[in-house]
Amino acid sequence: MPDFIPARPKLEGPQSRSDLITELAVREKLTVRQIISRLVGGRGHFEFVGTPEQVADTITAWFEGGAADGFDIMAPALPSGLATFVEQVLPDPARQGAVP
């Protein structure tokens, strides 16, 4: 990663995503190409793929552990991907009491 990127002045406004990416790149000594390949899918967000039960268990664990108070669902196709998520994943955490 070029030296001028971590040394740049702080951005005005929201900058947490920029800071996280810069810290990751410096810590792991990533090139710009490696940063892009690492972040291209979920744009730096945690990504998880699994069965409906595995996804529900992961959401429940994060919620109950205090690691998250909400989730952005980034379905690969809309509206069908969101409908699949609602039909197959949401009922499980709801039964467990993790989702109001």
β strands within the chain, DSSP E: none
Sequence-distant (≥ 6) Cβ neighbours of residue 48 within 8 angstroms? 54, 55, 58
pLDDT given for residue 33 in this prediction: 87
Q: What is the pLDDT along the chain (100 residues), one digit of tens a residue?
A: 666 666 666 666 666 777 788 888 888 888 888 888 877 766 666 777 888 889 888 988 988 898 887 888 877 788 888 898 888 888 765 566 655 5
Give residue limits of the domains in the chain.
1-45, 52-96
Are 93 and 59 within 8 A, CB to CB?
yes
pTM passes above 0.75: no
